[in-house]
C-alpha cells in the first residue's frame, strides 16, 4: 500500500469525520463542505495511485455517504442546533383553541344578534350587547339585520342572516347561486 493510498483513505475518513462533526458544532454547513472537499480529494488521490484504488474508494464512499446522511438526519434533530430548527409539539394549554378569548367566542354558536355595520362580508354585530367582529358566508348584510352565529372558524365568528319565523334555528334565507349556462329567465338555475 503506497503512501498515496494511505493519504487518500485518511482524507475520506477525515471527510466523513467532518460530516459527523457538523452534527455537534453549529457551523452552518462549513464542516460539511470541508468534509465533502476532503472526501473528493481522497477519491482523486486514489485515482492518481491506480484506477482500481480510485474505484474502490469511490464505491466505499458511495456506500458510506448515504449512511452518513441517514445518520445526519436521524441524529441532527436531537442536537442543540437541530432542536432550534424544528417546532416543538404544542400542548393543549398553548393551542389556539384554548385561548380564553376564543373560548368566549365559542359560546356565541347558535346565538342571535343584530348587524351593527354593513357586513360585506365582514363587519360588526351585537350579540347580547357585546360588539363582535364577524364574517358572513359571502352574503352582503345591511345594518339592523338579525343574524345567527353558525360557527367559529379560525377565530372568526361566521354568521348568516336569520329569520325569526324559520322553524330550524340555523336556517336562514335560501342561498341560490346561478352558474354559467344554468341561468333561466329569472336569473336563477332551474329547479
Which CATH number covers residue 104? Answer: 2.40.50.140
Query: 34-43, 73-82, 102-111 — which is least confidently predicted?
Result: 73-82
Whether 78 and 100 map to the same domain: the answer is no
Last residue of a domain, one of 39, 60, 85: 85
Query: Is the domain of 37 the same as that of 10?
Result: yes
pTM above 0.85, yes or no: no
Longest dimension (CA), the chain: 97
Residues 52 and 109 in one domain: no
pLDDT of residue 191: 52
In total, how many domains does the chain have?
Answer: 2
pLDDT for 10 beyond 90: yes
Which region holds residue 53: left if phi is over 0, alpha if psi is between -120 and 50, else beta?
alpha
Cα of first residue to Cα of last residue in the chain, in angstroms, is 89
Pick from 73, 43, 67: which is nearest to 56 by CA?
A: 43
Which residue among 53, 85, 117 closes a domain? 85
Mean pLDDT score of the chain: 81
Residues 17 and 80 in one domain: yes
pLDDT in tens, 121-154: 899 999 989 999 999 988 899 999 999 999 988 7
Give yes or no: residues 70 and 136 share one domain. Answer: no
User: Both 73 and 15 in a single domain?
Assistant: yes
Do residues 51 and 12 both lie within one domain? yes
Q: Looking at the structure, do residues 68 and 102 belong to the same domain, yes or no?
A: no
- The Cα-based distances of 66 to 24, 63, 71, 72, 99 in angstroms read 19, 6, 8, 9, 45
Domain span at residue 151 reads: 96-161
Confidence of residue 55 (pLDDT cuts 50, 70, 90): very high
Q: What is the pLDDT of residues 57-97, one digit of tens each?
A: 999 989 988 887 787 788 878 888 778 877 776 655 555 55
Amino acid at each position: 500500500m503506497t503512501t498515496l493510498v494511505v493519504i487518500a483513505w485518511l482524507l475520506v475518513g477525515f471527510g466523513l469525520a467532518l460530516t459527523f462533526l457538523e452534527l455537534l458544532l453549529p457551523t452552518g454547513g462549513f464542516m460539511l463542505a470541508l468534509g465533502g472537499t476532503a472526501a473528493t480529494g481522497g477519491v482523486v488521490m486514489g485515482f492518481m495511485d491506480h484506477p482500481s484504488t480510485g474505484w474502490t474508494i469511490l464505491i466505499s464512499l458511495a456506500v458510506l455517504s448515504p449512511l452518513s446522511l441517514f445518520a445526519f438526519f436521524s441524529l441532527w434533530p436531537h442536537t442543540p442546533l437541530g432542536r432550534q430548527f424544528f417546532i416543538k409539539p404544542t400542548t393543549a394549554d398553548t393551542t389556539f383553541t384554548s385561548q380564553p378569548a376564543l373560548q368566549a367566542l365559542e359560546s356565541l354558536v347558535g346565538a342571535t344578534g343584530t348587524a351593527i355595520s354593513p357586513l360585506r362580508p365582514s363587519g360588526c354585530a351585537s350579540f347580547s350587547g357585546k360588539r363582535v367582529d364577524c364574517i358572513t358566508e359571502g352574503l352582503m348584510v345591511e345594518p339592523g339585520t338579525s343574524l345567527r352565529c353558525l360557527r367559529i372558524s379560525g377565530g372568526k365568528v361566521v354568521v348568516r342572516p336569520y329569520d325569526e319565523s324559520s322553524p330550524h334555528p340555523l336556517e336562514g334565507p335560501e342561498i341560490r347561486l346561478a352558474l354559467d349556462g344554468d341561468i333561466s329567465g329569472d336569473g336563477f338555475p332551474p329547479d
